[in-house]
Chains A and B, each alone.
Chain A
Amino acid sequence: MADLSSEFLGIKSPNPFWLASAPPTDKEYNVVRAFEAGWGGVVWKTLGEDPHVVNVNGPRYGAIYSSDRKLIGLNNIELITDRPLQVNLDEITRVKRDWPDRAVVVSLMVPCEEQSWKSILKKVEDTGADGVELNFGCPHGMSERGMGAAVGQVPEYIQMVAEWCKQNTQLPVIVKLTPNITDIRAPARAAKAGGADAVSLINTINSIISVNLDTMAPEPSIDGWGSHGGYCGPAVKPIALNMVAEIARDPETAGIPISGIGGVTTWRDAAEFMALGAGNVQVCTAAMTYGFRIIEELTQGLSDWMDEQGHARVSDIVGKATPNVKDWQNLNLNYISKAVIDQDLCIQCGRCHVVCEDTSHQAITSTVDGKRHFEVIDEECVGCNLCVSVCPVVDCISMEQVREGMDVRTGKPIVNEYANWTTHPNNPAAQR
């Protein structure tokens, strides 16, 4: 059995699955339920200064769905905790005392003044919590007040606040990054420069989830009006994966511990985040969709996969895929692959044909000898993978490498040496 125990910044937890700072971690009641279910840790929902904020009293969430109303994206306009600071601190103290083997990290968001941070850090230290996460990510509401993403979008502020925190606490400091920027490396570098022990990402993405076409109100709508919210859930995972990888492979930030967040729903999602460099993962939307019991699938699935792959410890998989993430210009242009359709699995829906015909390279037949038949025309196939992407049957279409002979599309011989754009004759900037 693989050892799922995790150590992130020295913070120990029985597994690498933490609940992210969000509604599921707003109260002792919820957190205890999560720990009873088996979660490795929590990042307590963001604390702020008193008087505590208030939330809207209408809908806070909106969703988009795939078929059968499977939730694939969730949007929220909820703010940080709307309970008095001391209530939260007391509960955190009790929870950490009662659950010493679980990670309890506290998310914080106070105004950009050193005294505010100094003051709240002291109070958090007194709870016995394991660390703090600086919420520089919330894109809605708090950012209008100069906090959250308003800080996370200015690298200088990130560095400044990180420095204050490091100077005022012994607790590990995690900086939570907003994805609402153009280059995630800049805020990550700033966090590192400020002395942060780790970064966590991504926070939610600016979004309007839908518009009510009867009332012309953005949703969730409050008395006919709406405001942009934070987007999360399975739909944001690809964005988060890329940002994790960007930080993991940036020479300036390489090696900084990363807590991966963004659409983690299954064990496979978690393994992918960790393979790209995340030391652990944080989960929110999946729990908010299915309840805390999904932790059983997450831990068992990860453990089974690690056993199959021969990975003994969680740390063994962290960053395994990072070296394989490259700039486009480094990709091997001599690698040739073409689609192959398994006729035994083909159900004859014809989607591969029509998308290739309409939108790509006219490389899949619709009829052969007058009969409905879908087959790849190697002379036209550029190996783009669109057919694989739209085929409803698993493994029916696969991309297979052409290893010898010639590429019948270009008429050029297959070359086994690696060659990329930097030396390609069509590249005006190629070095010759």
Chain B
Amino acid sequence: MASSSYEQLQQDLHPPLSRHEASVESDRCYFCHDAPCVTACPTGIDIPLFIRQISTDNPKGSARTIFNENILGGMCARVCPTETLCEQACVRNTAEDNPVRIGELQRYATDHLMETGEQPYSRAQSTGCKVAVVGAGPAGLACAHRLALLGHEVDIFDARPKPGGLNEYGIAAYKSVDEFAQKEVAYILSIGGITLHQDQVLGEDFLLEDLKRDYQAVFLGLGLGAVNDLGIEGEELAGVVDAIEFIAELRQSADYTQLDPGDRTIVIGGGMTAIDAAVQSRMLGCEEVTLAYRRGVERMNASQFEQDLAKVNGVVIRNWLQPLRVLGENGQVTGVEFARMSEEGGQYAPTGENVILPCDRVLKAIGQQFVNSVPAVDGVTAIELEAGRIRVDDERRTSDARVWAGGDCITGGEDLTVAAVQDGKLAAESIHTTLTKGQTHG
């Protein structure tokens, strides 16, 4: 087994900016009019304002500006693919190909306020309304915080032992060191009025009907329950693992030496999860990690930065390989046979050449799918789906007037923490408007 680098798993990918670095970097912001970075941020954080607040040595005010739009601004500063969002829109790219490091500045500000433990908000007077939130991931937490802020009482029901959703279970360790996901949850809950109920699985421990009976409104932030299958021979062999499961196991491990990363891993997929899994396999000590993607590099969902990160960590990225079958001996995986693909004139097709890559481990990272746990006992649900996920309108209302939804489980869900936060926030505003309609103010 190759030498492992456990310390890298526990170290920030980007070390936090010092006050000096933040000061210098914040001075680079032009305070643009109608800033393109704000438009590019799914939660619409007022980026020029928060950066200006850093430059004037007001990190607390800066964090408030961020949290006003995104209460998970701390995690988003760590996991957002800023290179394809705010930083890609930065006007500094045009003149010098070097955007303001918005993500790192956001972390500087949010870390500052979170370290004080100070919650910048106080709740509005109680509305007397109770709302149920299903899922304690980014969408559910953002929704719950906004609802609590507006004076509602919130119960969150979450299927896992710990809250945080993919922030806790689904992203690379080096993106959320020092138990940041749990610290963030605690910070969000410190506003008050939110009660967490862990190990509560919708459809098993309770039903949507129960929530509709006991609460005035329900928000579904369910995430995606299942990993897509390769649908090929040999998938059942020992050593073929879901990448998301591998990451969850690693994230929950108290002792990395107890994890066996194998000697030769093939990661199948081209997205962020594939990269997270591949890089962490290397860090755990797997000698050879190959990331196989069926199309060209330009079609990979993982950003250029993520791809480079993988390469720097010794991951070999191979394109145009479509898995045909998983090979095995004695029930154990020994390799994967791929068809070499090409795309000519827009036609994606096998070249006729097959390639066999030996391995002792396969990590599947070809996307997840929504498991509909909404139906009640009778198997009939009023919540309408579209393209296999929950259909919502602009305000994140489902087809049921008392149920809202957001995050990965909705149609068009972007598989981004920051997009899930926006869903939760919008849903909370919509729920608030609905619940307080007709109420007199004051």
A389 vs B150: C-alpha distance when bound (angstroms): 44
Binds A, one of B88-96, B127-135, B151-159: B88-96
B residues near A350, Cβ cutoff 8 Å = 32-35
Tell whether B27 is near chain A: CB-to-CB under 8 Å. Answer: yes
Tell whether B28 is near chain A: CB-to-CB under 8 Å. Answer: yes
| Contact residues, A376-403 vs B (CB, 8 A) | 392-393
Q: Is the CB of B30 within 8 A of A372?
A: no
Tell whether A32 is near chain B: CB-to-CB under 8 Å. Answer: no
Q: Is the CB of A366 within 8 A of B24?
A: no
- By DSSP majority rule, is chain B's interface helix, strand, loop, or mixed? loop
B residues near A67, Cβ cutoff 8 Å = 24, 27-28
B137-177 interface bits toward A, Cβ cutoff 8 Å, 1 = contact, 0 = none: 00000000000000000000000000000000000000000
B residues near A372, Cβ cutoff 8 Å = 34, 36
Assuming the contacts A67-B24, A67-B27, A68-B27, asked whether A366 and B33 have C-beta atoms less than 8 A apart, the reply is: yes
**Contact size class for B?**
10 to 19
Q: Is the CB of A392 within 8 A of B36?
A: no
Q: Is the CB of B95 within 8 A of A393?
A: yes
B residues near A54, Cβ cutoff 8 Å = none
| Smallest Cβ-Cβ distance to B95: which chain A residue | A347
Tell whether A176 is near chain B: CB-to-CB under 8 Å. Answer: no
Tell whether B31 is near chain A: CB-to-CB under 8 Å. Answer: yes
Tell whether A353 is near chain B: CB-to-CB under 8 Å. Answer: yes
Query: Within the complex, what minimum Cβ distance (angstroms) separates B57 from chain A?
Result: 11
Tell whether A351 is near chain B: CB-to-CB under 8 Å. Answer: yes
A345 vs B31: C-alpha distance when bound (angstroms): 18
A324-366 interface bits toward B, Cβ cutoff 8 Å, 1 = contact, 0 = none: 0000000000000000000001111111011000000000001
| Contact residues, A2-60 vs B (CB, 8 A) | none
Query: Within the complex, what minimum Cβ distance (angstroms) separates B404 from chain A?
Result: 32
Q: Is the CB of A392 within 8 A of B30?
A: yes
A297 vs B337: C-alpha distance when bound (angstroms): 66
A351 vs B31: C-alpha distance when bound (angstroms): 8
Q: Is the CB of A351 within 8 A of B34?
A: no
| Smallest Cβ-Cβ distance to B34: which chain A residue | A350
A residues near B24, Cβ cutoff 8 Å = 67-69
A residues near B91, Cβ cutoff 8 Å = 347-349
Q: Is the CB of B33 within 8 A of A349?
A: yes
| Contact residues, B24-64 vs A (CB, 8 A) | 24, 27-28, 30-36
| Contact residues, B221-268 vs A (CB, 8 A) | none
B residues near A348, Cβ cutoff 8 Å = 32, 36, 91, 94
Contact among B23, B33, B94 with A354 in the assembled complex (CB-CB below 8 Å): B33
Pick from A69, A346, A348, A351 the residue with the most CB of B within 10 Å.
Answer: A348
B residues near A349, Cβ cutoff 8 Å = 30, 32-33, 91
A positions within 8 Å CB-CB of B: 67-69, 345-351, 353-354, 366, 372, 392-393
Interface CB pairs A-B, < 8 A, 26: A67-B24, A67-B27, A68-B24, A68-B27, A69-B23, A69-B24, A345-B95, A346-B94, A347-B92, A347-B94, A347-B95, A348-B32, A348-B36, A348-B91, A349-B30, A349-B32, A349-B91, A350-B32, A350-B33, A350-B35, A351-B30, A351-B33, A354-B34, A392-B30, A392-B95, A393-B95
B positions within 8 Å CB-CB of A: 23-24, 27-28, 30-36, 91-92, 94-95
10 cross-chain pairs, A with B, having the tightest CB-CB distances, nearest first: A350-B33, A67-B27, A354-B33, A347-B94, A347-B91, A349-B32, A349-B30, A349-B91, A347-B95, A68-B24
Name 19 extra pairs, CB < 8 A, besides A366-B34, A392-B95. A67-B24, A67-B28, A68-B24, A345-B95, A346-B94, A347-B92, A347-B95, A348-B94, A349-B30, A349-B32, A349-B91, A350-B33, A350-B35, A351-B30, A351-B32, A351-B33, A354-B34, A372-B34, A392-B30
